Amino acid sequence: MQTIAWMAWTPATAIFFSAIAVILLCMTWLAIRRPEVARLGILGIATTRGDRLFVSLVGAALIHLAWIGLFDTGTIAILPIADGLEISSLWLATVLSLAYATAVFRVV
């Protein structure tokens, strides 16, 4: 297993925080343009966009932590785009997190 530098400012970290900032800006714009009414999902609890965003972000964090704890985060592919550009298996957890977030926003 490889050593993971926690809280290191890397390109992946910058992309993550930039994506969160863009999501929050979009949600602010949506709240101004289209004020929402709380809706009942499959859980029977009234939720807003902000509630669903929070649940999906917490879920994404848990999925990534579980992935790191259970699976190897080593290289699964080397891209021919640049010399030595590798894809970590952690990207599979990211795809799983996006699917989870989509499900949360659709049904919760």
Its pTM stands at 0.70
Q: What is the mean pLDDT of residues 15-27?
A: 89
Residue 56 CB-density burial (10 A; 0-12 exposed, 13-18 middle, 19+ buried): buried
* Strand pairing category for 75-79 and 85-88: antiparallel
pLDDT digits (tens, 9 = 90+) for 42-58: 878 888 888 898 999 99
CA neighbor of 11 nearest in space, from 76, 74, 64, 85: 85
Q: What pLDDT is attached to residue 61?
A: 92
Query: What residue ranges do the domains of the chain occupy?
Result: 38-107
Structural tokens at position 1: 């297993």
